Structure 1
Amino acid sequence: MPAAAAAGPPYKLVTVNTAPERAARLIGRVVEDMKDRYTIVHAANVAAIEEVEAVVREQQPDLLFTASMWTPEEAQKIVAIAKGVLPVGHGLKTFSLPQGLQVERGPDAVVEHIEEHLPSLLA
C-alpha cells in the first residue's frame, strides 16, 4: 500500500546556519519524519547575516529557520531582513531555535524542537 501523500502545498524553506552541512542533515531528518504531514523543500542555507537579503530575494521562501548559534538579537535581525525583502502579504513563517540548543543538548534535541513546534507554525 503506498504511503499517504503529504497534505497541503509544498513549503520552501531557507535556513540560516553557519554550518550548512549540519543544517541540511538536521532539516533532512525533519523532512523525512514529517513527510506524511508536510512537504518541505530545503531550498537554501544562508551562512552569514549579510547574505540573507540576497538569498531570500532569490528563493522567496515560505519558511525561514534561524539556527541556535544566533543570539536572540541576531535572530530578530535575520527575520527582519527576510520579511523586509519579501512583498507585503507574502506570509513568511519564521522559527528561531533557542540559542545554544545544539551545543547544550545536541542534534536530536534540535530535530525534536522543530518537530514539536512545526505544526503550530504551519497551522
Structure 2
Amino acid sequence: MAPIGPYKLVTVNTAPDRARRLIGRVVEDVKDKYTINHAGNADNIEQVRGVVEEHKPDVLFTASMWTPEEAAKIIAIAKEIVPDVKTFSLPQGLQVNKGPDAVVEYIEEHLPSLLG
C-alpha cells in the first residue's frame, strides 16, 4: 500500500536545527506509511503567522519548550490562516526531561491518530 500524503509540516521550535533533525528521523521512520515534507520552522511565536502564510501547512507541531498556553496561542494563529490545519503539541518539558529519542517515539506513537 502506498504511503498516505504528502503532508506539509511546519514546526514551531526555538532550536530549528534540532527540529529538522528530529523531524528528519520521524520522516525516515514512517516513510512506508506517510509522506511528510518538513516545509519550515518558526523560531518564535512572532514568526508563526509569516511561516504559516508562506507554507500553508497541512500539519503544525509545537515543540516541548512551549507552555500549554503558548502552544494554544500558536495553534490559534495557525488556524486563523489555515482553519483545517492538523495540530500537535508535544508535552512541555519532554525534550529536556527525556531527550530526543522520547520526542521521536512520542510523535510516531501519535501520528496515526493525527493523520488518520
When normalised by structure 1's length, the TM-score is: 0.91
Task: Quote the residue 1:97 is aligned against.
Answer: 90
1:9 positional shift: 2.5
Partner of 2:52: 56
The partner residue of 1:81 within 64, 77, 84 is 77
The one-letter code sitting in structure 1 at the alignment partner of 2:112 is P
- In structure 2, the partner of 1:17 is 13
Q: CA RMSD in A?
A: 1.0
1:71 to 57, 67, 70: 67
* Residue aligned with 1:65, SS: strand
Instruction: Note the residue ranges of structure 2 that are not aligned, 5 or more in a row.
Output: none
Whichever residue aligns with residue 37 of structure 1, its letter is K
C-alpha separation between the residues in 2 aligned to 1:68 and 1:104? 10
Secondary structure class of the residue paired with 1:39: strand
Mind listing any 5+ residue stretches in structure 1 that lack a counterpart?
A: none
Question: Does residue 110 of structure 2 align to residue 114 of structure 1?
Answer: no
Offset of 1:5 from its aligned partner? 4.0
Structure label with greater radius of gyration: 1
Q: Which runs of 4+ in 1 moved over 3 A?
A: none
Q: 1:13-58, CA deviations, whole angstroms, 9 ceiling, x for partnerless residues? A: 0000000000000000000000000000000011010010011011
Structure 1 residue 108, shift from structure 2 partner: 0.2
Residue identity over aligned pairs, in percent, reads 72
For 1:42 and 1:78, locate their aligned partners in 2 and report how far apart those are by CA, in whole Å. Answer: 18
State the AA in 2 paired with 1:43: A
- Distance in 2, Cα, partners of 1:33 & 1:58: 27
